[in-house]
Amino acid sequence: MKRRKLYVAVESYTDAAGVETPRIIHWPNGEQYPVTAVLRTVNRQHAKVGGTGTCYTCAFAQGGIGNVYHEVLEDDASSVIGARWFVEEKIEAEHA
């Protein structure tokens, strides 16, 4: 099985202190994964698909636990203009 980095749309909530929490992960195929709890946040590199950022370990409504990474995004002048989310996508060998 191969893995690759997949940028996804995420609905998140930012509290008054600026702490951001992912609420729903939207996969490109339309599937939605509501987050029931964030178990841990830690800055970490994703050793398998590459990239670095804040890793949110989340429990999902469908069951199961997974990581969503929050990665900084810059403009052409390297000023930080926001962030985006990525996950690890597993690809079956024949599609790889």
Partner 1 sequence: METCIAHVDANCFYASVEMAEHPELLGKAIAVCGDPANRHGIILTASYPAKRKGVKTAMAIWEAKALCPELILVRADLRLYMRYSRYTRDIFYRYTDRVEPFGLDEAWLGLRGCPACGGEPLRIVQAISDAFKRELGITCSIGLSFSKVYAKLGSDYKKPDAITVFDRANYRERVFPLPVSDLLYVGRATTRKLNEMGIYTIGDLATCDPARLQRKLGKMGLVVHRFANGYDDEHICQVGDRAPVKSVGNSWTTPRDLTEDTDAWVVFMLLCESVGARLRELGCKCRGIEISVRDASLSWFSRQTVLPMPTNITEELTAAACALFRCHYHWSKGLRSLGVRGFDLVWSDEPVQLRLDIDANRQEELMRLDGAIDDLRRRYGFSIVQRAKVWTRPELARLDARHDNVVHPHGYFGQMEGL
Q: Is the CB of 76 or the CB of 92 nearer to partner 1? A: 76
Minimal distance, residue 50 CB to partner 1, in Å: 4
Binding site for partner 1 (CB under 8 A): 43-45, 47-52, 72, 74, 76-78, 80
Q: Which residues pair with 66 in a beta bridge?
A: 58
Contact (CB, 8 A) for 83 and 6: no
From 21, 35, 26, select the one nearest 6 (Cα to Cα).
26
Minimal distance, residue 23 CB to partner 1, in Å: 25
Amino acid at 50: G
Minimal distance, residue 14 CB to partner 1, in Å: 19
